[in-house]
């Protein structure tokens, strides 16, 4: 496993010590899940929903959030400007 | 009389007959929390003022001669991954240490409509990931029966609060055993409802094909009352459904006489503490003595449940926890004065590095790997196929039996620190509960005795939406 590649995909910063520790823990878990290969699954459908529910949809209508609720949501943002969440620039 | 030890039914009678007021009752629980929670640490946040206010509302109704509902005035505790508007909701994580919930979870909305009193939010393994509550960023919870031991997890705070009479009932969430295993360790009743029976709107998602909210209570009757108050379809959770809960009108004695019980041989095998096995089998004998038919059954794919779970769960975790990015809410590296942040990528990397604890990181990495290009078929797809086989095992078994009884956990509560350094050993604590989540079935853990002085629970598993039947069987074991 390329731990740096996976950490980047996961957008997860890792310390150097942690990388080697994670590498050994994850390979132990992956060895453990290897047993799944013993199960013959060629003609088995993968599970999509445990109780067999299918395609639940609602009308495609926008719903308004109450103003006080909107402010509470925005209030949790680390940085904001007016009613926008502020984000560090993507391009330098 | 110790008001804090009352069941919901007793509370209701007491309030109705004006033996005590809702305020006195809430005060009794609050002083119990003050007295005991210093050493147990079941609560992360005690909502003293709002609880007293809610109790006063109930008292006003009673004084005005209005009728009160069965849960009205009953003081409860809520796992801290379920949102209560205006209150902090941390999920046991540093990344959400200061997060304030902007809305009520559907279960909270329902309980508010019933006039329940909310005492506070309970401790949990970070993002509900763990089996001991030791993974909380805010310190472990201790088992009220033995303070050197864990209460189980991840709903360890909720189970400990019920066991220590620090609340009348509690809500937890269960992804692989997180209600049932702590219920077993703490000697209380805990239900993992059928997948979809209870709305998860406002529950912090961990593994969405497995997560379910459920009640923890002092006895089966209370557990059932809370379940009835929170279940049902919610348009805001498209996986929720009304279910066709079978209304059991016949008397309990009739139900038990007709009951066919299956004991899966794979669950009574190596790794099971002999004392736990004996207690479970004694309880089953009790039902047999009342006329229930007991037979050995086989769930042949049982040994693959844990490896299957350890692909599906982390995969879903890695997707669900992507939302904690340091942008919208929670801890952000950008407001951390100790850090120099260069660009947006840096915000993501450092917010998540500093915000998440070891177990979420482990699972995010594992899940990201399992879902990454070239590995999807070998891991996630394979696991979902094995999952189908696990579901088929249960389908076949339920052609022959009405309920399946197993131990809830292989051992009673273990010592704090005992398994914390070995993730794989910790995962084995959920070996009897995980299949139930994979198959979306309802299951209850009910106390069946003590080993030394530690409680032991057994698990009753039913068909989808057969909660009523497992409540019947559970009360027969309880009585």
pLDDT in tens, B413-437: 999 999 988 888 888 888 999 999 9
Nearest to A1 among B369, B388, B440 (CB): B369
Lowest-pLDDT range of A66-70, B46-50, B190-194: A66-70
Q: Do A41 and B327 touch (CB under 8 A)?
A: no
Chain B residues within an 8 Å CB radius of A30: 366, 369
For residue B403, give Cα distances in angstroms to A66, A92, B75, B189, B246: 46, 62, 32, 17, 14
Task: Identify the CATH assignment for B3-230 out of 3.90.1300.10, 3.40.1050.10, 3.40.50.300, 3.30.420.40.
Answer: 3.90.1300.10
Is A59 or B89 the better-scoring residue by pLDDT?
Answer: B89
Task: Determine the pLDDT at residue B272.
Answer: 94
Lowest-pLDDT range of A29-43, B313-327, B369-383, B417-431: B417-431
Task: Using pLDDT thresholds of 50, 70 and 90, give the confidence band for residue A92.
Answer: low
**Mean pLDDT across chain B:** 95
Percent of chain B with pLDDT over 90: 91
User: What span, in angstroms and rounded, lies between the C-alpha atoms of B414 and B454?
Assistant: 10
Q: How many Cβ atoms from other residues are within 10 Å of residue A52's Cβ? A: 10
Q: Is B241 a catalytic residue?
A: no
Residue range B119-152, pLDDT digits in tens? 999 999 999 999 999 999 999 999 999 999 999 9
| Best residue in B369, B421, B462 for a mutation probing chain A (most A CBs within 10 Å) | B369
Residue range B329-362, pLDDT digits in tens? 999 999 988 998 989 999 999 999 999 999 999 9
Average pLDDT over residues A66-83: 93
Give the alpha-carbon dihedral of B372, B378, B383, B388, to 10 degrees.
130
DSSP letter string, chain A: --HHHHHHHTT----HHHHHHHHHHHHHHHHHHGGGGGS--TTPPPPS-TT------------PPPHHHHHHHHHT-SSEETTEE----S--
Task: Determine the pLDDT at residue B253.
Answer: 67
Task: Determine the pLDDT at residue B245.
Answer: 65
Residue range B82-102, pLDDT digits in tens? 999 999 999 999 999 999 999
* 3-class secondary-structure state, position B215: strand
Minimum distance, in Å, between the CA of residue B101 and any CA atom of chain A: 8
User: What span, in angstroms and rounded, lies between the C-alpha atoms of B310 and A32?
Assistant: 9
Q: Is B79 a catalytic residue?
A: yes
Task: Determine the pLDDT at residue A89.
Answer: 81
pLDDT over 60 at B249, yes or no:
no
Closest to B103 measured CA to CA, from A9, A28, A65? A65
pLDDT over 80 at B173, yes or no:
yes
Average pLDDT over residues A25-47: 95
Touching check for B109 and chain A: CB below 8 Å? no
Q: Is B154 a catalytic residue?
A: yes
Task: Determine the pLDDT at residue A53.
Answer: 87
Touching check for B196 and chain A: CB below 8 Å? yes
Provide the ipTM: 0.95
Task: Determine the pLDDT at residue B252.
Answer: 64
Task: Determine the pLDDT at residue A40.
Answer: 96
Residue range B10-19, pLDDT digits in tens? 999 999 999 9
Task: Determine the pLDDT at residue B349.
Answer: 97
User: What span, in angstroms and rounded, lies between the C-alpha atoms of B293 and B40?
Assistant: 41
Average pLDDT over residues B205-232: 97
Task: Determine the pLDDT at residue B242.
Answer: 85
């Amino acid at each position: 496993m390329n731990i740096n590649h996976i950490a980047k995909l996961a957008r997860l910063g890792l310390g150097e010590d942690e990388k080697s520790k994670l590498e050994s823990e994850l390979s132990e878990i992956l060895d453990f899940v290897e047993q799944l290969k013993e199960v013959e699954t060629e003609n088995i459908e993968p599970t999509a929903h445990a109780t067999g529910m299918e395609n639940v949809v609602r009308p495609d209508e926008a719903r308004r959030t109450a103003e006080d609720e909107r402010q509470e949501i925005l209030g949790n943002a680390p940085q904001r400007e007016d009613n926008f969440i502020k984000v560090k620039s993507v391009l330098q | 009389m110790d008001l804090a030890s009352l069941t919901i039914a007793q509370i209701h009678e007491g309030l109705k007959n004006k033996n005590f007021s809702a305020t006195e009752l809430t005060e009794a629980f609050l002083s119990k929390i003050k007295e005991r929670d210093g050493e147990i640490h079941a609560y992360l946040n005690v909502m003293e003022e709002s609880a007293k206010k809610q109790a006063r509302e109930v008292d006003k109704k009673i004084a005005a001669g209005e009728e009160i509902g069965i849960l009205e005035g009953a003081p409860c505790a809520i796992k801290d991954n379920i949102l209560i508007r205006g209150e902090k909701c941390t999920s046991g994580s540093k990344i959400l240490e200061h997060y304030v919930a902007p809305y009520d979870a559907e279960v909270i909305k329902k309980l508010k409509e019933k006039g329940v009193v909310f005492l506070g939010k309970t401790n949990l393994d970070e993002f509900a990931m763990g089996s001991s509550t030791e993974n909380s960023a805010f310190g472990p919870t201790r088992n009220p029966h033995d303070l050197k031991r864990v209460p189980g997890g991840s709903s360890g705070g909720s189970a400990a609060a019920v066991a220590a009479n620090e609340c009348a009932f509690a809500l937890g969430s269960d992804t692989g055993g997180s209600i049932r295993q702590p219920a077993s360790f703490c000697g209380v009743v805990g239900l993992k409802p059928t997948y979809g029976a209870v709305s998860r709107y406002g529950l912090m998602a961990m593994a969405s094909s497995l997560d379910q909210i459920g009640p923890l209570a002092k006895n089966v009757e209370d557990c059932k009352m809370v379940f009835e108050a929170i279940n049902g379809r919610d348009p805001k959770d498209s996986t929720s459904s009304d279910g066709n809960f079978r209304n059991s009108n016949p008397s309990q004695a009739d139900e038990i006489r007709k009951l066919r019980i299956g004991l899966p041989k794979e669950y009574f095998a190596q790794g099971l503490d002999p004392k736990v096995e004996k207690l479970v089998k004694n309880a089953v004998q009790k039902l047999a003595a009342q006329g229930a038919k007991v037979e050995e059954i086989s769930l042949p794919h049982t040994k693959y449940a844990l490896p299957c779970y350890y692909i599906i769960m982390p995969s879903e975790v890695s997707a669900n926890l992507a939302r904690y990015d340091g942008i919208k809410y929670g801890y952000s590296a950008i407001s951390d004065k100790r850090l120099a942040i260069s660009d947006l990528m840096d915000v993501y990397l450092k917010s998540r590095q500093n915000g998440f604890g070891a177990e979420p990181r482990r699972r995010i990495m594992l899940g990201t790997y399992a879902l990454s290009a070239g590995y999807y078929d070998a891991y996630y797809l394979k696991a979902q196929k094995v999952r189908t086989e696990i579901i088929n095992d249960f389908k076949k078994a339920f052609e022959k039996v009405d309920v399946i009884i197993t131990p809830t956990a292989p051992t009673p509560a273990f010592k704090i620190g005992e398994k914390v350094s070995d993730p794989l050993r910790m995962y084995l604590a959920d070996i009897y509960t995980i299949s139930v989540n994979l198959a979306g079935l309802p299951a209850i853990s009910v106390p069946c005795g003590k080993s030394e002085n530690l409680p032991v629970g057994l698990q009753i598993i039913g068909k989808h939406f057969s909660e009523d039947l497992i409540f019947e069987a559970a009360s027969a074991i309880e009585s």
